[in-house]
Each structure stands twice: as structure tokens, then as C-alpha cells.
Structure 1
Amino acid sequence: MDDAIKRVRRFNRAVTAAVGALDESFLGRGRPLGSARVINAIGHGRTDVAVLREYLGVETSLMSRLLRGLEDDGLVETVVSTQDARRRVVHLTKAGAAEFRAYERLSNTQAKAMLAGHAKPEELLAAMDLVASVLGRDRVTIEEADPRGDAARYCLDAYYEELSHRFEHGFDVSRSRDPVAAQMVRPRGVFLVARSDDLPVGCVGLKGGGQGVAEIKRLWVAPSARGIGLSKRLMADAERIARELSIKTLRLDTNRALPEAKQLYLKTGWKEIDRFNDDPYADSFFEKRL
């Protein structure tokens, strides 16, 4: 255990030094990391002060000091929301937008240099993804998404690629009972995407079939985000929405090459049933009454 703790602390020191977290002038722009992160978050659309504070994980008093400093520098403007007088919104000024673009260029250059300095950049990225998912587990969000949109497509393409490697004879989506998008949007169903700091890391579809019955389809979690309970969260949200849509019975199927999926279903109240479809890739079938 002592060795493990030393390795964690070494990692913390390495990351702190590599990203310049303690520098008074982060990336040479004349202000510390905290202020730079505020500019970055606003530049990426988080303009509601309460949302901004939650995203950055800072206390109200610190948020106020950071915004006041940026206001004094002429980089941001804070005003009362036109939609809710109890809330404040913050925007970048012209000078602030220029700083945001400068930070983006410098951060991209720094990232490229990190990857270029390693003989196996894909392995380095995989390790980074794993650490980011673990450290950011409390900030992973699950939102309804267009099953035809970019985020859904990203998840589904990764899901199909993984199945093609794990299934004994590969996977061809054209042979499976791939649900059409219209079956996974309200009021028939829904498609959910999990995001870690805007990066899609998981998905699940609720395919409505009418008469109070629906299927769970395309449950997938990125390898880097496994082990933090995300599959259970996705399934729980899908079940919650099924109840909202007055769905009484859920069904799903899975393949023997995905034993962890079968274990999840058995542990969360699903009952194994007889085959209910002709999907050539399915060999286990489950049902759950809501």
C-alpha cells in the first residue's frame, strides 16, 4: 500500500508540474490557472455563473473573486439574466475572447508536444482517458440526445467496433435488429448519451414498441469509463424515462461474449426469459416489469 500511495503522489506532482498548475503565469499569459480555467469555461459556453461555479467546482466566494479580477482586467462582463433576475450571466469581452483564443492555441500546442514526446501516443491517450474518467466521475452527465446526432454516432460506432472484436464471428450491424431512430425519440423512446467534460463516454437506447413494451438497446460505456458505475446510471435513467412514457415492460438481449452485461442485468432485477426476437447475435434474453 505504501508503494501505491507513493506512485499516486508522484503522479499528482508530475501532472501539476506538466500543466503548470502552480505557475503564476499559466501558459505565459500573465494570470494563474484558476483564472485561465474561468476564461476557458466561459469561452466554451458556460455563461450562467451558477453553472460555471458548479462546473469548475469552486465556492461562491472564490468564484466572485475570480470574476472580479477578470472584470478588472476588462476580460469579462457580468450582468443579470434577462430570463431570471435571480441569476447572473457572464460574457467575454472582445479582449476576453482574444485571450480565450490564445489559451486554446497554447493548450493545443502543449497537448501536441506531450503526445509527440511519447513513442506510443495512443497508449498515452488511453491512460489519460482512464485517469480523467476516474477523477471526473462525479461530473459525468447523462443527457437525452438525437440518435442520429454526432454524439450518438460516435458512441454507436465505437460500440459496433468493439462488438466486431469481441464476437466470435465478428459483428455486422446490418444483420442485427438495429432500431430505427424514430423508435428512440419521445414519445416512443429515448436515446441517452453520457459525457465526461463534453466527451461522449457512454450511451443507451430505449426503443419503444408500443402497447407498453420497450427494449433496451445499445448499452455501451467507453473502456476508460468502466468501473465507475456508469452502466448502472445509464440503465437507471432509461428505466426512469420508461416509467415517464408509461412503459410497463422492458426487454433486452445480449451475447455470451458480453458476460459483464449479463451480470449487470442479473444484479439489477432483470429476469432471464425465452427468446423474443430473431436477432442472430443474441443468445440471452431478459425482461423487467416496471
Structure 2
Amino acid sequence: METESEQAPEPVSTEHVAAFRRFNRYFTRRIGALDDHYLGQDRPLGEARLLFEIGDGASLRDLRGRLGLDAGYLSRMARALQAQGLVRVRVPAHDNRLRILEPTPAGRTELKEQNRRAEALAAGLLSGLTAGQRAELTGAMATTRRLLRLAGIAVELVDGASVDARACLAAYAADIDARFPEGFEATDLVRPEEVSGDAGAVLVAYEEGRPVGCGALRRLADGVGEIRHVWVHADARRLGLARRLLDGLEREARTRGLQVVRLDTHAVLTEAQAMYRACGYTEIPRYDDNIHASHWFEKRLAAGDRDEDGV
């Protein structure tokens, strides 16, 4: 998903699109996703997946967000499972607006059998490969999942005072407070007015509607900006999201006519230092009075770094 603050650096080739669709067609056919009797049971994949996601119990609200389903479609599937005696609906005493789906004993029995059949299907597919080929396949699937997660994350420009911006920055402060020997105070975060409008920017990364990362940019002087508080939620790390946020902040800097961006980092954040160097930042002398900083970096945003659309 692209936003005005995050344009794709280059168009997607027709070859890549065709390969992606070809894999989807093969995989969905191979695992039986098109069969109205998924895994040989008397229901299609959608209902089987919903029963799996319900597990020991889940609200319709959580299921809708987790599966990304239309509310009407989800309700119809839930009613179908209820009519078959596989789930029941409970309204919790603390909130009569919630509808909790819970498996019945019959539902638990079917889910157990569904899991057994799914594991047998996977084992059957893998049995035709050598141990080395299985390792290669499972590694490729892990890479595929990581890249698909990254592709599905939307990075959006938000107001510096927005709820999501301040929540992400507060989470950043809590994380580094636990890592810095001297601690970190939330009062050291950038102020909303420093990173809003012409003064700067805040980018927030969303995965399925949930904020999972952020980064801020503020103007230091004519033509010079500073990148602050690049943070990724623990659940979304090792996807490549931090680099994506950094790249987005650099694009925001170019949009504002900045030719140089600077940043500082703490001695314990060795992974951040490695990322900055890999992204073209060079170490420079101290440029600020940040008591938490021990390394200072700079990157020149040459005209050749501009996006193809001129942004």
C-alpha cells in the first residue's frame, strides 16, 4: 500500500507480477484452497480458517481485524458455524456490545481433526523432498512471509500531535529507557510542533491497521534536517521496516528542500549504527548537546537521489 509520503522507487515489472500470480495459483490449488470440502471436511476453507482462528474463543471484532474480513461476510460464516453446532455466541457481562464466539464440544472435536489433517497434508507434501530440500523450502517460506509482511505494511505521514504518533514515540521512549544505562525521559522526545507542517514530519507504519513503527524529521537549519526516534515494534523487527522508515524520512526531507540530514545514536545501539552506515551515512563530529548520543551521522541528499517522479 502506497501513500503520498511513500511512493514506490520503481515500477513493478510485469514479470514479477506474473510470477507472483503463478505461485498463488499453484499453491492454492496444491493445498486444496479451492475445494468446497477443504481437507476432506464438510466445509470450505473460509469456514475452516474461521474455526481455527476462533480457537478457545475470540470476539467478532478481533476476528474482523485479524482476518481483514468484511463484517457482513464474517457474520454469515459465523452464523453458518453456529447453525452447524460448532460455535456458540456469548455476550460478556462487562461489555454488551461484544460478541464472543466460542467452540462447542463438537467444534473442538472438528478443530482437532482439522489440525490433524492439515499436518498430514503438509507432511505428505514434504515427504517427497530430501532433508536438504525441506530446509531450503522452509527457509524460502520464511523469507516469503517476511517480505509479504513488509509489503503489506503502510507507512503514512501523520500529524506530530496525533494519537498514533505520540503512542509510537512513547513506546520508543519506553524501549530505549530499558536499554540505556542512564535511562531515557519521555520529555526528551521531539515536540509535536517540531515535526509537523513545514517544520518536519512524523511517519507511522501500520500493519493491518495497528501502528508498528515510527520515525520523525525536524528542520535544524536552512537545508539541514535531523532524523529522530526511528522505532519498530518488537513484533515487526527483522522485516526491513526500519530501513523503509529511514528511506521515507529522507524522501520527506527532499520534499522540504533539505540537502542534508543528520542523526545521532547511543553507544549501545550498535544495530542502528550498522544500519545507518549501510544506508550511506557517514560519521561526523558532535553537532548537538544530546546527553544520550555518542555517535553522530550525516547524509547528503544529492539531486540524483530524488525519486523518478521528482519528489
Q: Using structure 2 for the length normalisation, give the TM-score.
A: 0.54
Amino acid at match of 2:234: P
Confirm or deny that 1:191 pairs with 2:202. Answer: yes
Show the counterpart of 1:22: 45
Show the counterpart of 2:251: 240
What's the offset of the Cα at 1:171?
1.3
**Cα pair distance change 1:277/1:21, threshold 3 Å:** farther
Tell me the SS of whatever aligns to 1:209.
strand
What's the offset of the Cα at 1:186?
2.4
**Cα pair distance change 1:163/1:21, threshold 3 Å:** farther
Tell me the SS of whatever aligns to 1:251.
strand
Confirm or deny that 1:109 pairs with 2:100. Answer: yes
Confirm or deny that 1:216 pairs with 2:227. Answer: yes
What's the offset of the Cα at 1:258?
0.8
In the alignment, the residues of structure 1 paired with residue 171 and residue 146 of structure 2 have an alpha-carbon distance, to the nearest angstrom, of 17
In the alignment, the residues of structure 2 paired with residue 150 and residue 102 of structure 1 have an alpha-carbon distance, to the nearest angstrom, of 36
* Misfit runs of 4+, over 2 Å: 20-28, 39-43, 96-103, 105-111, 131-137
In the alignment, the residues of structure 2 paired with residue 101 and residue 158 of structure 1 have an alpha-carbon distance, to the nearest angstrom, of 36
Show the counterpart of 1:143: 156
**Cα pair distance change 1:108/1:274, threshold 3 Å:** farther
Amino acid at match of 1:158: A
Sequence identity percentage: 31
Larger radius of gyration: 2
In the alignment, the residues of structure 2 paired with residue 100 and residue 277 of structure 1 have an alpha-carbon distance, to the nearest angstrom, of 58
**Cα pair distance change 1:274/1:108, threshold 3 Å:** farther
**Cα pair distance change 1:194/1:40, threshold 3 Å:** closer
**Cα pair distance change 1:27/1:213, threshold 3 Å:** closer
Deviations 1:188-214 (A, max 9, x none): 211000010011111000111341111
Tell me the SS of whatever aligns to 2:230.
strand
What's the offset of the Cα at 1:179?
2.2
Confirm or deny that 1:280 pairs with 2:291. Answer: yes
Amino acid at match of 1:109: I
In the alignment, the residues of structure 2 paired with residue 172 and residue 197 of structure 1 have an alpha-carbon distance, to the nearest angstrom, of 30
Confirm or deny that 1:204 pairs with 2:209. Answer: no
On the 8 A contact 1:188/1:209 being kept in 2, the answer is no
Q: Superposition RMSD on alpha carbons, in Å?
A: 3.7
Match of 1:231 among 242, 255, 262: 242
Tell me the SS of whatever aligns to 2:45.
coil
Amino acid at match of 2:277: L
What's the offset of the Cα at 1:182?
1.6
In the alignment, the residues of structure 2 paired with residue 145 and residue 157 of structure 1 have an alpha-carbon distance, to the nearest angstrom, of 15
Tell me the SS of whatever aligns to 1:208.
strand
On the 8 A contact 2:153/2:205 being kept in 1, the answer is yes
On the 8 A contact 1:188/1:210 being kept in 2, the answer is no
Aligned residues: 194
What's the offset of the Cα at 1:101?
11
Show the counterpart of 1:173: 186
Amino acid at match of 1:194: A
What's the offset of the Cα at 1:245?
0.7
In the alignment, the residues of structure 2 paired with residue 148 and residue 180 of structure 1 have an alpha-carbon distance, to the nearest angstrom, of 8
Structure 2 counterparts to residues 24-103 of structure 1, below 5 A? 24=47, 41-43=69-71
Higher relative contact order (CA 8 A, sep 6+): 2
On the 8 A contact 1:273/1:286 being kept in 2, the answer is yes
What's the offset of the Cα at 1:157?
1.5
What's the offset of the Cα at 1:164?
1.1
Match of 1:158 among 125, 147, 171: 171
On the 8 A contact 1:202/1:220 being kept in 2, the answer is yes
In the alignment, the residues of structure 2 paired with residue 284 and residue 217 of structure 1 have an alpha-carbon distance, to the nearest angstrom, of 13
**Cα pair distance change 1:206/1:108, threshold 3 Å:** farther
**Cα pair distance change 1:179/1:98, threshold 3 Å:** same
Amino acid at match of 2:224: V
**Cα pair distance change 1:188/1:23, threshold 3 Å:** closer
What's the offset of the Cα at 1:173?
2.8
Instruction: Provide structure 1 residue ranges, at least 5 long, that are not aligned to the other structure.
Output: 1-12, 29-35, 44-74, 76-95, 112-130
